[in-house]
Amino acid sequence: MHGMEQPASLAVLFSDPSLLVVNKPAGLSTLPDGYNPTLPHVKSLLERGFGRLWIVHRLDKETSGVLLLARSAEAHRSLNTQFEQHRVIKRYHALVSGNPAWQEKSVELPLRPNGDRRHRTVVDLQAGKPALTHLAVLERFDRHCLLEAVPETGRTHQIRAHLASLGLSIVGDRLYGGRLPQLEFDIYWKSGGMGLHARSLEITHPSTGEKLKFEAPYPPGWDETLMSLRGG
């Protein structure tokens, strides 16, 4: 990092000649906005301090957490291959409305992006692309729970669409959530984010072959929200 400046909200988790890993805040796009290209986005903000960067994967604008960028064309090729071959392990934490009867569940339903008037990803058994998400309950509250979601595929809005298919909605998710969340302390709603956080990412280093795991702490408000849900 060598004293280079980056936006205060974009905490750098790891940096070397091949990789840059940041904790993306909710409300910031990974790439330029198609409707408003002048809005700030991760790539433009970071390239000021780190030079040319290659996007390897994306997080939805409203999702926070671990975002990996490549710092060379060679690293980009290697990481792309790892993603294509499903050798990357992505773990998300989701705070959802609802408390399912199951403790662990795998959802294997084909998804089609841009499938309705609201441009949502929809389950489409005929025309959808294969999608698999593994879910596990981490903590239960009264009318909510904290889930871990591990997507094996990387479809647009995959976790949000698969949870919606189970009748579960992520707190603060205005697109898939249906009714407004009934949490008085719903900080995500006010901040433009939602209760979906890319908690960790596991890859093989493109140059050294070393197995690496990056973990992003929760964004502001998550710990207070969880304490409130616990009745603390």
* Residue 27: strand pairing partners: none
Q: Structure tokens of 142?
A: 């009264």
Active site residue 16: no
Report the pLDDT value the prediction gives residue 110, as an integer from 0 to 100: 97
Q: Show me where the domains of the chain are located.
A: 11-229
DSSP 129: B
Distance separating alpha carbons of residues 94 and 194, to the nearest angstrom: 9
Residue 105: predicted pLDDT: 98
Which CATH fold topology does 11-229 show? Answer: Pseudouridine synthase (3.30.2350)
Catalytic residue among 60, 116, 142, 186: 60
Cα distance between residue 149 and residue 136, in whole Å: 7
SS3 42: helix
- The span from the CA of 157 to the CA of 129, in Å, is 13
The secondary structure of the chain in percent helix, strand, coil, rounded to multiples of 5, reads 20, 30, 50
Query: What is the pLDDT at residue 177?
Result: 78
Distance, first Cα to last Cα, the chain = 38
Segment-wise mean pLDDT, segments of 10 residues, the chain, 232 residues: 48 96 91 74 91 94 94 97 95 93 97 92 95 97 93 94 93 74 46 83 97 94 84 70
